Structure 1
Amino acid sequence: MKPLWKIDTTMPAGSTFEPGARHDVVVVGAGLTGLTTAVMLTHAGLDVAVIEAGEVAELASGGNTGKLSLLQGKRLAEIRRHHPAALVRAYVDANREGMGWLTDFADSAGVPYTRRTDHSYAQSPEGVETVRGQHDAAREAGLATRMLAPARLTSTPFPISGAVALEDQVTIDPVKVALALVRELLDGGGTLLTGIRVTGAHALGSPRVETTRGPVFADHIVLATGTPVLDRGLYFTKVRGMRSYCVSFRVPGGPTEGSYLSVDSPTRSIRPVSGADGPDGVAQLIVGGNGHPVGRSDGETAAVDDLVAWTAQHFPGAVETHRWSAQDYESHNQIPFVGAMPRGVGAIRFATGYAKWGLSNAPAAALRLTAEILGTSPRERSSWMNTLATRLTVPADLGRGAIEGARVAAAAAARWVDAESRSVPVPQPDEGTGVVANRAGHPVGISTVDGITRAVSAVCTHLGGVLDWNDAECTWDCPLHASRFTPDGTRIEGPAVEDLKQLPRSGRG
């Protein structure tokens, strides 16, 4: 499952790793947050190294839909329901400044994009009230949204009971943006190190990151890893990991002109791709949605197939070209966490919790991280930075955290019980499938992928959750805090930093 944006794209290999090297700043993660932060700091004259376990735009940054919008589905209404208008306005202002930075950079770097009208829409009459709430919150925050009645939306081939629209939003190829950021970083004297996993970071003594190939020292460390790979601050309990799916199609007569995101379930995200904002110059349509907490799904492939069936119903003759999925994190208090990490003595910073809106939240986070690292005084910073930095936790935030905590506990218990109900040996799994069984009291994950059957410990190396098989990506996913692993146990993403232990096969299992 490779994203549309990465087809026939060559990723830069990076520089030669030097154990013990010293830089002004080490940024962990070569996604949009890490690269925008690194470029901003390089522009300020600092020596910056970016370290990435995989390749550039490896995960969420390379797998998103390429929507750059301030409307953001029902996000503003959700924030406003439990927070003051000033906080919603600060969130919008942060995303506006992030969006402006990214489009200005795209203009200077020659990355094309398309201005479109974005819509948050209701698929049924029951969702219209949410659309109105989104419109009210957006207007209160200073956005020029407008309500559209169904009579104004008759040209769309899918059902709409009402919508709110915001003009002059953007669709862009996120991988082209990431590659342009890498060029800017390297041209500015920065360092890119790929294929090197960071396993820890230390603030005391000489601040440094630990990697599988040795330490790298820096005055400042930025963890731009989706969710922090350090447990200090317990941010893995303050966000939840969500996976969602995308399928691209060639559509007879071409795709829609605007972009759309439903406010009701099951989620439908519609994003046209043109020669100006896509990878191959061929007009396509991306349909996304069906998100769920990581490791807690009745079937990931079924979620993708549902998107294909929906598209065939409403866009007759659509031909599938690519399918993929991506993972992002939602903050329980609905606003991204950005800034200094607890017990990091000001040397370690991080960003997480974009709720799938990284194209604007990532550069906004980078602006704030850069201001803090450069020592810009609060008086000189954008007002939204100070508002978001001093926001209060409200009872609803605690309630969402408690509910998610209960779900995590339930998932942990259920997975252990399920593992104990099945003992090895088990029949060899069919191609593309995996099963968890019990071997001497320990859950074992057995899978067959590309004709190879493997056995690994099915216990997450983070906090011991029993893993679930993802039949769309052929990965082991943790239902507790969203760590993921390949069939051979290699860590992919999440708060876990260690691989799963590979186990010998015994009997048929």
Structure 2
Amino acid sequence: MTAADRPVRTTRATGRVWGEVRLTDSLEGHDPDAPVPGSAPVVVVGAGITGLTTAVLLRRSGVDVVLLEAREPGAGTTGGTSGKVSLLQGSHLQEVRGRHGDEGAARYVEESSRALDWVRAEVAAARGTGEIRDNHVYATGDSGRRTLEKEAEALAATGVASTWHDVADELPFDVTGLVRVADQLQIHPVRYLEHLLREACGGADEGCVRLVSGARVTDVHVGNPVRLEGTWRGAPFRIAAERVVVATLLPFLDRSVLFARSEPHRSWCLSARLAGPAPRGMYLSVDSPTRSLRTATAPEEVLVGGQGHVTGRGGATSDRLAELDRWARQHFDVVDVTGAWAAQDYTTADRLPWVGPLVPGSERVLGAGGFAKWGMTGGTAAALQLAEGVLAARSGGSATWPWTPWRPTALSQAVGAAPMNAGVGLHLAAGWARAARTADHGAAPVEGGGEVRRQKGRVPCGISTVDGTTHERSAVCTHLGGVVSWNDAERSWDCPLHGSRFAPDGQVLDGPAVRDLPPCPTAQERSEEGSREGSQEG
């Protein structure tokens, strides 16, 4: 039996090969039992790549920061990234160039280059956090080759040195073209975050960063000072700050309406141990379905990514993970799959990230997002801009925001957002219609299964069985009312509107939602309500 003929086993997310961030006792700025303080000069919300890098930059400039994280550092997208830091980003540069011209594309490359240089310096200072590798984008068909030619043109127009190749010696399949950019970076996301945490919370003489894990911010009141509200260990907290940076993948502040100008995409990864060495370079296809390759935690371990889709849409997620597994076994001699997981990011309507003020006319609340699956590069670039903006404001100056959320590209954003919002409306209506047609038959779903059912007089109920426990929670997303769908590979409820995600017990995993799914009514409560309705009708 060949590797390609072996049965597929990886149909459930089994864990990230990178592991989890370790919060050691040496982190002087982190006391797990210390509550949220009442005030701070700067509050950063979110301890992923953008938030942590911003906190480090501010600390280096002598600014005290309180860093609030709803779960643990790296628990979100950063801990699940493929860890590529590069100026070669699939076909993304040609899309930026098509919407913003040569000048806009050149500025995008300039900001990305600053980020690459910054991460390169950090990796050089912290051994084991990353490696210099060449990055490649390849095509396997005629259409992909044409896309690749346009990307090579965009690279040349913006001054990025690249080379064209007709073969890919490291890959176990033929290509119709390949573009290479030398000396880019692949990093170990968790080790890199741990490096940033050690500096941020290590107790240096200048600025101090205080990390509070498990603190979920639910509202921000813009003023002087800015006032934040949230919960920590089930209890409410309030904190006042001169400046606030929201680094939560998608800002939960609906007043910025960024959720309507972007689309959530979830991509799948698996790590596999091979019988021989994995390709040494980094690779990404421009054909669909996308395939991403790099070494993982050892020379014989490959990370395979792809099978992306809009969060909460597209059918069974286990099928996507199984297809990735099948493809890896078809092309590589897989000995064992060592991890499988997914990560999420947002693509903006005009393909540029947003970085800057979230509320027009005020620079006291800043945010960043929309990195189109290139968050290690874009998130670092955003952090450089955010820190510069905070420091400029504190010194009485003003900042320039090359990726401002309120940029004057209304036409390109409207054109790009129209199909996004059409999809949102379609899935909003379809979700409620399906729920109305699905009666509650009483039996619990099988292990690992989840179903949305109609319950008389109540909102749709999401019923799931995970690890032998059956949970019943409202199936209506607490952000804007979409009906969630079951993600069977990760055992979660995912909203098809704007990408909010919830655990089987209803806890928020990813925003923009900030409130958990409430419980469904019990059978007795449903019976009592039915009796009341019957009495009223009589």
1:132 aligns with 2:155: no
Q: Which moved more, 1:299-308 or 1:312-321?
A: 312-321
Alignment match, 2:342: 325
Q: CA separation of 1:86/1:257 partners in 2, compared to 1, >3 Å: closer, same or farther?
A: same
Q: CA deviation at 1:424?
A: 1.5
- 2:452 is aligned, of 436, 439, 445, to 436
- The answer to whether the Cα contact below 8 Å between 1:31 and 1:57 also exists between their aligned partners in 2 is yes
Deviations 1:307-354 (A, max 9, x none): 110011110334211101011111111000000111573211000100
Match of 2:158 among 122, 141, 146: 141
The answer to whether residue 237 in structure 2 is matched with residue 214 in structure 1 is yes
The whole-number CA distance in structure 2 between the counterparts of 1:186 and 1:463 is: 36
Residue 206 of structure 1 and its aligned partner are, at CA, apart by 2.8
8 Å CA contact 1:251, 1:285 repeated in 2: yes
Counterpart position of 2:22: 10
Q: What TM-score, normalized by structure 1, do the two folds share?
A: 0.93
Gaps of 5+ in 2: 1-13, 527-538
| CA-CA distance at 1:387 after TM superposition | 4.3
Of 172, 182, 198, the match for 1:167: 182
Q: In the alignment, is residue 341 of structure 1 matched against residue 358 of structure 2?
A: yes
State the alpha-carbon separation in 1 of the partners of residues 517 and 462 from structure 2: 10
Residue in 1 that maps onto 2:60:
43
What letter is aligned with 2:257? L
Question: What pairs with 1:272-351 in structure 2 (closer than 5 Å)?
Answer: 272-273=295-296, 278=297, 281=298, 283-343=300-360, 345-351=362-368
Amino acid at match of 2:176: S
One-letter code of the match for 2:18?
Answer: W
Return closer, same or farther for 1:224/1:388 CA change in 2, 3 Å cut-off.
closer
Is 1:496 matched up with 2:513? yes
The answer to whether the aligner puts 1:226 opposite 2:225 as a matched pair is no
1:142-193 deviation line (CA, Å, top 9, x unaligned): 10011111xx324410331111111111111011111111110112321010
SS of equivalent residue, structure 1 residue 435: strand
Q: Which AA in structure 2 matches 1:207?
A: V
Partner amino acid for 2:183?
D
Q: Where do residues 64-463 of structure 1 align in structure 2 (5 Å cutoff)?
A: 64-149=81-166, 152-187=167-202, 188=204, 189-212=208-231, 213-273=236-296, 278=297, 281=298, 283-343=300-360, 345-375=362-392, 387-389=402-404, 391-393=407-409, 395-441=411-457, 442-463=459-480
Secondary structure of 1:347's aligned partner: strand
Which amino acid is the alignment partner of residue 278 of structure 2?
P
Given the alignment of the two structures, is residue 27 of structure 1 paired with residue 44 of structure 2, yes or no?
A: yes
**Residue 470 of structure 1 aligns to which amino acid in structure 2?**
N
Structure 2 letter corresponding to 1:296:
R
Hey, what's the Cα distance between the residues in 2 that align with 1:95 and 1:12?
Answer: 32
- The aligned residue for residue 530 of structure 2 is none
Distance 1:11 1:471 in 2: 30
- Please state how far the C-alpha of 1:125 moved relative to its aligned partner: 1.8
Find the aligned partners of 1:82 and 1:207 in 2 and give their Cα distance. Answer: 35
Q: Distance in 1 between matches of 2:110 and 2:487?
A: 37
Give distance in 1, aligned partners of 2:311 and 2:261.
15
Find runs of 4+ consecutive structure 1 residues off by over 6 angstroms.
none
Separation in 2 of the partners of 1:72 and 1:19? 39
Question: Residues 446 and 456 of structure 1 are in contact (CA less than 8 Å); yes or no, is this contact kept in structure 2?
Answer: yes
Please say if residues 203 and 344 of structure 1, whose CA atoms lie closer than 8 Å, have aligned partners that are also in contact.
no
Q: Between Structure 1 and Structure 2, whose CA radius of gyration is higher? A: 2
**Residues 99 and 359 of structure 1 are in contact (CA less than 8 Å); yes or no, is this contact kept in structure 2?**
no
Question: Tell me, what secondary structure is at the counterpart of 1:167?
Answer: strand
Q: Could you tell me how far 1:395 is from its partner in structure 2?
A: 3.4
Return the offset for 1:71. Answer: 0.1
5+ long unaligned stretches in structure 1: none
Contact 1:456/1:501, CA 8 A, preserved across alignment: yes
Change in 2 beyond 3 A, CA 1:386/1:351: closer
Work out the CA distance in 1 between the residues paired with 2:398 and 2:365.
20
Kindly state the Cα deviation for residue 252 of structure 1 after the two structures are TM-superposed.
Answer: 1.4
The answer to whether the 8 Å contact 1:332/1:401 transfers is yes
C-alpha RMSD of the superposition: 2.1
Provide the C-alpha distance between the structure 1 equivalents of 2:201 and 2:37, rounded to a whole number of angstroms. 20
1:4 match: secondary structure: coil
- Tell me the TM-score normalised to structure 2 length: 0.88
Kept after mapping to 2: 8 A contact 1:199/1:211: yes
Deviations 1:355-407 (A, max 9, x none): 111111111111111111111799x999xx65444853163432220111101
Mark the CA change 1:166 to 1:381 in structure 2 (over 3 Å): closer, same or farther. farther
**Whole-angstrom CA distance in 2 between matches of 1:485 and 1:183:** 30
Deviation of residue 216 (structure 1)? 1.5
> 2 CA distance for matches of 1:89 and 1:163?
22
Structure 1's 494 and 112: CA in aligned 2 closer, same or farther, altered over 3 A?
closer
Cα distance between partner residues in 2 of 1:20 and 1:120: 47
Distance in 2 between residues matched to 1:48 and 1:239, nearest whole Å: 29
Distance apart, 1:259 and its partner CA: 1.1
Residue 114 of structure 1 aligns to a residue whose secondary structure is strand
| SS of structure 2 residue aligned to 1:253 | coil
Checking the alignment, whether the CA contact within 8 Å between 1:312 and 1:318 is kept in structure 2 is no
Q: How far apart, in 2, do the equivalents of 1:52 and 1:289 lie?
A: 28
- For 1:372 and 1:463, how far apart are their aligned partners in 2? 31
Output one character per residue of 1:462-501: Cα deviation in whole Å (capped at 9) or x when no partner: 1100010001111111001110100111111121110110
